[in-house]
Amino acid sequence: MKSAICSIVIVMAWVGGVAAQDVSYSDEATQSCLADASDDARLACVGESANACMADTEGGSTTVVMGGCLDRERQFWDDRLNTAYSDLMAMYTSADAEAEAESWNSPAQAPALKAMQRAWIGYRDARCDFERAKWGGGTGGSPATAQCLMRVTAEQTLVLIDGRDGLQ
């Protein structure tokens, strides 16, 4: 776990260097894809904005620009993940309180959500640490890690959004 966190910190520090270099990033490609995609096809939208960014930015095939574009889309997904998690936690906390007040014999949902999300963070870190390790210390490891973080965060975001939407 410690090495996974270290790898993520290194990637974020590495990607931070992109701020000095303009990347042409917009969430538009991903948002447009999501608007048109069925629930089953949403995963195909992951990476659309990052790919457009790499295509539209001078030097888009360099590891620095690739990492910057991938990290910007990861931020897009992370923002959506945090919103979906907060919405679910509020709904489940309320439902748990109602179940307790009514003496229903049902498992508490908010603690289960929190435990699932904590376990997912460990999984994300280990999965993306493995992606970095496959590059054997080469320069491709940083964009591979950024791509992994983007993809895994998007996957979890969609899980949480589906959970939230199923309750409304």
Query: Does the pLDDT value for residue 134 go beyond 60?
Result: yes
Return the HEC string of the chain.
CHHHHHHHHHHHHHHHHHHHCCCCCCCHHHHHHHHHCCHHHHHHHCCHHHHHHHHHCCCCCCHHHHHHHHHHHHHHHHHHHHHHHHHHHHHHHHHHHHHHHCCCCCCCHHHHHHHHHHHHHHHHHHHHHHHHHCCCCCCCHHHHHHHHHHHHHHHHHHHHHHHHHCCC
Query: Does the pLDDT value for residue 118 go beyond 50?
Result: yes
Q: What is the mean pLDDT of residues 28-38?
A: 96
Query: Does the pLDDT value for residue 130 go beyond 60?
Result: yes
Q: What is the mean pLDDT of residues 143-168?
A: 88
pLDDT at 163: 82
Using 50, 70 and 90 to split pLDDT, how confident is the model at 119?
very high
pLDDT digits (tens, 9 = 90+) for 43-75: 999 999 999 999 999 999 999 999 999 999 999
Query: Does the pLDDT value for residue 167 go beyond 60?
Result: no
pLDDT digits (tens, 9 = 90+) for 104-116: 999 999 999 999 9
Domain ranges of the chain: 2-165
Look over the chain and give the mean of its residue pLDDT values, rounded to a whole number. Answer: 88
pLDDT at 137: 87
pLDDT at 4: 47
Query: Does the pLDDT value for residue 168 go beyond 60?
Result: no
Query: Does the pLDDT value for residue 100 go beyond 50?
Result: yes
pLDDT at 65: 95
Q: What is the mean pLDDT of residues 83-100?
A: 96
Query: Does the pLDDT value for residue 26 go beyond 80?
Result: yes
Q: What is the mean pLDDT of residues 105-132?
A: 96
